[in-house]
């Protein structure tokens, strides 16, 4: 019996040893595998879906074949710049690559949260970035960032859900921000779910500077947004895709590149840049100061600027590319088509102004920090006001139901008592 147990024990040890040596999942990270954590917007990289180029998988292949390294890209996404900022600054997550928008890059750099890797010196393919997208206000010395995409904000609308007079104005080149605040489309309007973009829609419409240092300008914008909230179906980020493509909303403000993705799913959608002006933005690749794989992050950025990866990503996400290799690609032009190229690049003669959005607002009486704190407090007030109103409505409804229930119960008790006493009096008489 003991011999049998010993034999069984040895067989078990052998099986465990074989499993440890040769039975592991080939796709699982090995002991010498380097992890690269990438934090990006949703729907913002060619990911291999529907047979497309799989950027992260190709980078892993490049690392193995060219650099001789086993690399695993761990890729996660965020919905807004503010979500990303909270995660980075709170220490809730450590990432090697992030891709914020210009104003957020400025904020992160000012707070010392970014690694100064000087891409002109360290990223070979940085030479393909157009000069117009270098030395921008958010990174004047090209220390912290490499432009990934750029674009402009506009109005997306469903042609089947707008009235004829509004469609005629749009066709005539007179499309306005006014559509976003039109009462006849109440419940069919989508607004940005972040303060800078949402306030900008109101400020452009009112003819105000979106980087104003005057508190009164922000108060006027808040007043307009407060009036608008009764018309808004929802404050959205990535949810806009399903809402607009499904036809559950008629009007939204969002980025031109995202419209090009949406119109592929719903041909009834249209787009225009408002005549009062709009915001031009740049999203760029950055390395957080606390990144664990800084050198590998630089390799990743350089790879993203190579022709095949850059063309694949620009085609997939449908935003404007600052990369000359993309703009010179015949395959890219054929794949995108004339309408998309016109929306993304054909605005050079457009009379409507395109303004950048700063994070560090121009100093005024309150100073930069004071104005920014004011803007954030106004946004919280706007969103909280919605929540309070909903709570008030629910509470009021519960109170009404409670009062009615009590009244009905009291009436029932009175009637029950009345019947009891009438019956008792009858019994006594008998």
* 64-77: average pLDDT: 97
**pLDDT tens across 255-306, in order?**
999 999 999 999 999 999 999 989 889 999 999 999 999 999 999 999 999 9
- At 17 the pLDDT is 43
Instruction: Flag whether 425 is in a domain.
Output: no
Phi–psi pair at 154, nearest 5 degrees: -150, -165
User: Which sign does the torsion angle of CA 85, 93, 142, 370 carry?
Assistant: positive
β-sheet bridge partners, residue 150: 282, 320
Three-state DSSP class for residue 362: coil
Same domain, 130 and 195: no
**pLDDT tens across 322-364, in order?**
999 999 999 999 999 998 999 999 865 555 566 776 655 544 4
64: which residues sit within 8 A by CB, 6+ positions away?
A: 70, 71
Same domain, 131 and 191: no
How many CA within 13 A on the CB side of residue 408?
Answer: 6
Domain containing residue 164: CATH number = 3.40.190.10
Q: 217 or 91: which carries more pLDDT confidence?
A: 217
Same domain, 252 and 318: no
- State yes or no: pLDDT of 419 exceeds 60: no
- Classify each residue of 217-236 as buried b or exposed e, where b means 16 or more C-beta atoms within 10 Å of its C-beta: bbebbbebbeebbebbbebb
Same domain, 186 and 106: no
Domain that includes residue 35, residue range: 30-148+283-345
Instruction: Flag whether 25 is in a domain.
Output: no
Q: Cα 233 vs. chain centroid, distance in angstroms?
A: 18
N- to C-terminal Cα separation, the chain: 95
Look over the chain and give the mean of its residue pLDDT values, rounded to a whole number: 84
The residue behind tokens 């993304």 is 344
**Of all helices (H) and strands (E), which one includes residue 149?**
strand 145-158
Long-range contacts of 301-308 (CB under 8 A, 24+ apart): 301/97, 301/119, 301/123, 301/146, 302/123, 302/124, 302/125, 302/126, 303/58, 303/59, 303/62, 304/55, 304/146, 304/148, 305/123, 305/125, 305/126, 305/128, 305/129, 305/146, 306/125, 308/53, 308/58
Same domain, 336 and 240: no
Pairing of strands 189-192, 354-355: unpaired
Q: How many helices (H) and strands (E) does the chain have?
A: 16, 10
Q: Cα 83 vs. chain centroid, distance in angstroms?
A: 9
Instruction: Flag whether 417 is in a domain.
Output: no
**pLDDT tens across 226-266, in order?**
999 999 999 998 899 999 999 999 999 999 999 999 999 99
- State yes or no: pLDDT of 368 exceeds 60: no
Q: Which of 179-183, 197-201, 331-335, 411-415 has the lowest mean pLDDT?
A: 411-415
Instruction: Flag whether 11 is in a domain.
Output: no
User: Which two three-digit tokens encode residue 120?
Assistant: 């002109």
User: Which sign does the torsion angle of CA 246, 249, 271, 322 carry?
Assistant: negative
Rg (CA), the chain: 30
- At 416 the pLDDT is 43
- State yes or no: pLDDT of 29 exceeds 80: no
Q: Cα 131 vs. chain centroid, distance in angstroms?
A: 27
* 11-20: average pLDDT: 42
- At 361 the pLDDT is 53
- At 399 the pLDDT is 52
- At 372 the pLDDT is 79
Q: 409 or 306: which carries more pLDDT confidence?
A: 306
* 411-420: average pLDDT: 46
Instruction: Flag whether 234 is in a domain.
Output: yes
How many domains does the chain divide into?
Answer: 2
- State yes or no: pLDDT of 388 exceeds 60: no
The residue behind tokens 């440890």 is 20
- State yes or no: pLDDT of 40 exceeds 50: yes
Same domain, 124 and 219: no
- State yes or no: pLDDT of 319 exceeds 60: yes
Same domain, 81 and 194: no
Q: What pTM was estimated for this model as a whole?
A: 0.74
- At 355 the pLDDT is 72
Note whether 116 and 109 are within 8 A (CB): no
Same domain, 320 and 179: no
Instruction: Flag whether 416 is in a domain.
Output: no
Give the pLDDT band (50/70/90) at residue 387: very low
- State yes or no: pLDDT of 1 exceeds 60: no
* Percentage, residues of the chain above pLDDT 70: 77
Same domain, 60 and 142: yes
Same domain, 305 and 228: no
How many CA within 13 A on the CB side of residue 323?
Answer: 29
- At 423 the pLDDT is 42
Instruction: Flag whether 8 is in a domain.
Output: no
| Spatial CA neighbour of 358 closest among 202, 209, 150, 177 | 209
Instruction: Flag whether 363 is in a domain.
Output: yes
Note whether 153 and 199 are within 8 A (CB): no
- At 376 the pLDDT is 87
CA dist 29 and 38 (Å) reads: 16
Give the pLDDT band (50/70/90) at residue 31: low
**pLDDT tens across 113-153, in order?**
999 999 999 999 999 999 999 999 999 999 999 999 999 99
* 176-203: average pLDDT: 96
Domain termination site, one of 291, 314, 345: 345
Same domain, 159 and 273: yes
CA dist 144 and 282 (Å) reads: 14
- What are the DSSP calls for 184-198, one per residue? GGTTSEEEESSHHHH
- At 360 the pLDDT is 52
Q: Which of 46-50, 206-210, 399-403 has the lowest mean pLDDT?
A: 399-403
């Amino acid at each position: 019996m003991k011999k049998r147990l010993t034999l069984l024990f040895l067989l078990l040890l052998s099986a465990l040893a074989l499993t440890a040596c040769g039975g592991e999942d080939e796709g699982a990270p090995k002991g010498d595998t380097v992890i690269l954590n990438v934090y990006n917007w949703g729907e913002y990289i060619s990911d291999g879906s529907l047979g497309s180029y799989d950027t992260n998988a190709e980078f892993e292949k490049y690392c193995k074949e060219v650099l001789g390294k086993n690399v695993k890209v761990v890729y996660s996404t965020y919905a807004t710049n503010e979500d990303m900022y909270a995660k980075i600054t709170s220490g809730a997550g450590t990432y090697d690559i992030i891709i914020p928008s210009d104003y957020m890059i400025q904020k992160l750099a000012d707070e010392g949260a970014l690694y100064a890797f000087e891409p002109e010196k360290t990223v070979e393919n940085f030479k393909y970035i157009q000069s117009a997208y270098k030395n921008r206000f958010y990174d004047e010395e090209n220390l912290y960032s490499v432009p990934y995409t750029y674009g402009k904000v506009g109005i997306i609308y469903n042609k089947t859900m707008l009235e004829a007079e509004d469609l005629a104005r749009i066709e005539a080149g007179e499309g306005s921000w006014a559509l976003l605040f039109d009462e006849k489309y109440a419940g069919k309007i989508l607004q940005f779910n972040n303060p800078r973009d949402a306030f900008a829609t109101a400020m452009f419409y009112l003819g105000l500077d979106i980087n104003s240092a005057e508190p009164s300008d922000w108060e006027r914008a808040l007043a307009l947004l407060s009036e608008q909230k009764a018309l808004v179906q929802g404050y959205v980020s990535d949810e806009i895709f399903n809402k607009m493509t499904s036809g559950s909303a008629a009007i939204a403000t969002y980025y031109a590149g995202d419209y090009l993705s949406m119109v592929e799913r719903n041909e009834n959608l249209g787009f225009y840049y408002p005549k009062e002006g709009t915001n031009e933005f740049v999203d760029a690749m950055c390395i957080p100061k606390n990144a664990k794989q800084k050198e590998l992050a630089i390799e990743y950025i350089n790879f993203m600027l190579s022709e095949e990866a850059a063309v694949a990503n620009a085609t997939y996400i449908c935003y404007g590319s600052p990369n000359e290799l993309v703009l010179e690609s015949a395959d890219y032009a054929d794949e995108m088509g004339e309408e998309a190229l016109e929306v993304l690049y054909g605005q050079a003669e457009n009379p409507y102004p395109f303004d950048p959005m700063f994070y560090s607002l121009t100093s005024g009486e309150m100073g930069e920090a004071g104005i920014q704190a004011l803007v954030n407090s106004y946004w919280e007030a706007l969103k909280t006001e919605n929540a309070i109103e909903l709570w008030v409505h629910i509470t009021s409804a519960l109170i009404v139901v409670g009062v009615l229930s009590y009244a009905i119960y009291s009436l029932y008790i009175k009637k029950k008592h009345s019947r009891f006493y009438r019956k008792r009096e009858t019994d006594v008489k008998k």
